[in-house]
Amino acid sequence: MTSTQRPVRRSLPWLLAGLSMIGPFTIDAVFPAFPLIGQHFGVGSAQLQQVISVYLITYAAMSLFHGAISDAIGRKPVIVAGMLVYAVASAGAALSTSFGMLLACRSLQGMCAGAGLVVGRAIVRDSLAGAAAQQLMSRVMMIFSVAPVIAPIVGAQLLFLGGWHGIFWVLTGFTLLLAVALMVYLDETHPPAARTSFHPGTLVRGYLSFGQDPQFWPLLISCTVNFAGLFLYIASAPHIIRDLLHLSAQGFPWLFLPVVAGLMIGAWLSGRLANRRSVAYTVNLGYSAMLLACGLHVLMGLVTVEPVLPWSMLPLVLHGVGIQLAFPTLTLLLLDRFPHRRGGVSSVQAFFSLMLCAVVAGVISPWLSGRMLYLALGASVLSLVGWLSWRWYRRLTRRPLAQQHLAPTAETELQTEITEPR
């Protein structure tokens, strides 16, 4: 069955970008406030790390349901409800009277924040196909890429105005405004005729069917581990800025500006290459950039004991470019493995990605953040796993991948038979 492209409002990329910005703001904006939160509640750095880990764990767990629910009742109700409850959770965090209450509100934030990211990806694929979908995904990611650098800067400035409480009040206001904009401007992209029933048995059978597809696994692994390599640096930002670079809370842009510059450049390049180069070329170029960035970071870690500004941060630009070159194409390939259950596929991918990021933030980052060399080696291992998974996918397929672009049909399981010559 051939898909038809639906008219797309000009506001859609901005709405989806706003939804995708919730995650980075929820994580990165609180980094500068860690010392104040610790002093306020009398907790140490290990407990403060739970502010990130708890959010990511609940985000991952609930992301398994957002997509499946949206497959059953539609995309718009899930997203709007998620943003409204997130606003309530943010207000609760601002009013927290104990560290336990703060963690509970962070858990509720995580349960709701994924609605925008998970369901938003399904909306892209509902609305467009082929190169047009890749271009829209790239535009969304380009706008989204600004969030990681804005978030810690905004968080640091709010410390002078409302302390750490102000960060959560800003999140409350932002998501309330976003919920109103979604009610007014977001069109439903999953019509009743295409919806599937939602109950535990159907959900389990659907997820089991994903696992039975051999090409699903390498694409899932590739999508999951790529960002985790860069997220290792993001999760380690407080240690890098304060302990390794010996800077104040105003020094976070030294890390986040290179990350954002790379993500924006990569997203722009991905959109430009959508109609000009093959799937293989775009993804291979992305992995080349990621692995080169890792190699440069390892080399600098071997040469210098402590990071040196700006040189130790510059490879993050190249790393971000590589991730954004590969991510839109890999995500679309993964979603099109099961055209009628894109919400569920997006849920599974988000779950694994967030669980890995939770492990990175709660285990790997504290373990490796003592030296930039250790962080570089950790990021290199994650990026190498992603590249090997991509190679695995290409070996599993049967037709020349180098001759293919993203096809303009949705229900034909786009890349079932796409490969390159051996």
Q: Residue 284: name the closest of 336, 325, 337 by CA.
A: 325
Identify the pLDDT of residue 399.
53
Q: What span, in angstroms and rounded, lies between the C-alpha atoms of 394 and 406?
A: 15
Is 220 a domain residue?
A: yes
Q: How many residues does the chain have?
A: 422
Q: What is the pLDDT of residue 407?
A: 43
Residue 371 covered by a domain: yes
Number of folded domains that form the chain: 1
Domain contains 1 = no
Helix pair 315-335, 342-359: axis angle to 10 deg:
150
| Domain contains 295 | yes
> How far apart (Å, rounded) are the C-alpha atoms in residues 228 and 144?
17
pLDDT at 400: 47
**Exposed/middle/buried for 381, CB within 10 Å: 0-12, 13-18, 19+?**
middle
Residue 211: other Cβ atoms inside 10 A? 11
**In this structure, is residue 173 part of a structural domain?**
yes
Closest by CA position to 38, among listed 27, 50, 26, 28: 50
**Residue type for position 56:** L
Phi/psi of residue 416, nearest 5 degrees: -60, -35
Which CATH number fits the domain that encloses residue 241?
1.20.1250.20
Query: Is 3 inside any structural domain?
Result: no
Whether the model clears a pTM of 0.75, i.e. scores above it, the answer is no
Q: 376 and 236 in contact (C-beta within 8 Å)?
A: no
Answer whether residue 260 is part of any domain. Answer: yes
Per-residue pLDDT of the chain (422 residues; tens, 9 = 90+): 334 455 567 778 788 888 878 887 888 788 788 888 999 999 887 788 788 888 888 888 888 888 778 888 888 899 999 999 999 999 999 999 999 999 999 999 999 887 887 788 778 777 776 667 767 776 776 666 667 667 777 777 777 776 788 889 989 999 999 999 999 988 888 778 777 777 777 777 777 888 888 889 999 999 889 889 998 998 888 888 888 888 876 787 788 889 888 988 888 888 788 777 888 889 999 999 999 999 999 999 898 878 888 888 999 999 999 998 998 888 888 888 887 777 778 778 878 887 888 788 878 988 898 889 999 999 999 999 999 999 999 988 865 444 444 444 433 333 433 333 33
From 405, 414, 283, 287, select the one nearest 345 (Cα to Cα): 414
Domain that holds residue 80: 12-189+198-419
160 within domain boundaries: yes
